[in-house]
Amino acid sequence: MVKLPNANVPNFQRRTVYCPTGKVAVGGGAEAQGADAMLVGSFPTDDGRGWIALGRQSAYSSLGISVYAICANR
């Protein structure tokens, strides 16, 4: 498993974590952090090498997002 630690980003900005070379993402997830934060997307990259997440907070222009990918040999 690889993790992209929590960081504040603008609403709807994608955060992406990638698996090490030679591995693919077989699953993943994310966490949205903030007073009224909501995760609006959590899905694999088009090439299958990582995981993408994005979210929003209606009362703020940014939120915290952490992203995880579960990696396996290709």
CA distance 40 to 32: 9
Residues 13-45: tens digit of each pLDDT: 999 999 999 999 999 999 999 999 999 999 999
Q: What is the mean pLDDT of residues 42-71?
A: 97
Take residue 12 and report the two structure tokens written for it. Answer: 């709807």
- The SS3 of residue 2 is strand
Whether 74 shows a pLDDT value over 90: the answer reads no
Smallest CA-to-CA distance from 57 within 33, 30, 41 is with 33
pTM for this one?
Answer: 0.93
